Amino acid sequence: MNFIKNILSQSKKKISIILTLQVPESDLPTSEYAGFKMINCFDMPEKYEYHSSKEYYLRKLEYISDEIMSSEDNILFCNSELNIEDFDTLSEMLKQHGLIINQILVPNLSKRNKKLAEGQKAYRDHSRWLHFYPGEIEDIYNEFEERIKSLKTKYENTETKILEI
């Protein structure tokens, strides 16, 4: 990943870096993150003029690292949709330059359960139009629960805190 070396060869002051996992900007307590530069990852493909979702997915870490390195302020990424390997890659990359991911924000249990209930209702009401097999909504929910559990376990004894909001 040459982009990591190129971008991070610049010196950088200490800033707080927060990433989210399926937490939209509207769910963030604005007073708590008032001093942060907010980046919505859903807006990044347009900003970088990429219209292919595949190309964006492949270059997402480059975009995020570019935003981090060009920021003078604390920075918060909404809707990052990163996987655990992506968090690990960013964490290792930042560590080499004295930066860390301070927090990874995830939806709290009540928000996750609400999303599950909404998905189940949509399936009941519209199953003939939805392309889901019976139980797929629950499988998606369980997979997300495992992702959160894995993140909490992986970052348990690190400086990166996993917070439910």
pLDDT of 10 strictly over 60:
no
**66 or 17, which is more confident?**
17
What digits encode the pLDDT tens for the residues 53-71?
Answer: 666 676 788 889 888 988 9
**11 or 145, which is more confident?**
145
**Residue 105: which H helix or E strand, with range?**
strand 103-106
- pLDDT at residue 52 in the model: 63
What digits encode the pLDDT tens for the residues 109-161?
Answer: 999 999 999 999 999 998 878 788 889 999 999 999 999 999 999 999 999 99
* Cβ pair 94, 17 in contact under 8 A: yes
Which token pair is 106?
A: 């995830």
What digits encode the pLDDT tens for the residues 75-89?
Answer: 999 988 888 899 999
| Domains of the chain in sequence order | 17-164 (3.40.50)
Strand partners, 106: 164
- Give residue 33's pLDDT band: very low, low, confident or very high (50, 70, 90): very high
**95 or 102, which is more confident?**
102
- Give residue 11's pLDDT band: very low, low, confident or very high (50, 70, 90): very low
Amino acid at 161: K
